[in-house]
Amino acid sequence: MALMLVLQSIKSSFASIPYAIFNTYMLITINRNKTLLHQAKENILSQIVYFLFWSNYTSFFVYMYSSTIFKDQWKKLMKKIFCCLYGKRQRQLHYQTQLKQMTVVRSMVKPN
């Protein structure tokens, strides 16, 4: 549990600090004339910073990769969901196939 908290704290700091610094820089330089090259550099940097910031919402994956119990529970849940959905579809297909076979047999055997 302590490992997860340490990893989460490091990840949050690594993701949030550059975002705050970049936004401060953009607010300070908003009214300056910038060359196209400078704007392109800012754009690339903003994409990198935003990517880091949005990685802040990956707590789920940190927990999943650092906890064997959580991984096992996740696998069981996914297997249960997959089996329920896939099993229900298989039953529906089987039922439809049986109905088609019954109508074929009924049309072949006509009552007198």
Contacts of 54 (CB under 8 A, 6+ apart): 15
Phi, psi of 67 (to 5 degrees): -125, 120
pLDDT tens digits for 73-109? 888 888 888 777 666 656 666 666 666 666 655 555 5
Would you state the structure tokens that stand for residue 73, as one six-digit string? Answer: 């529970």
Q: What is the pTM of this model?
A: 0.49
Taking a C-beta distance cutoff of 8 angstroms, is the pair 95, 55 a contact?
no
Task: Sketch the domain layout of the chain as residue ranges.
Answer: 1-66, 68-112
Say how far apart CA 112 and CA 102 lie, in whole Å.
18
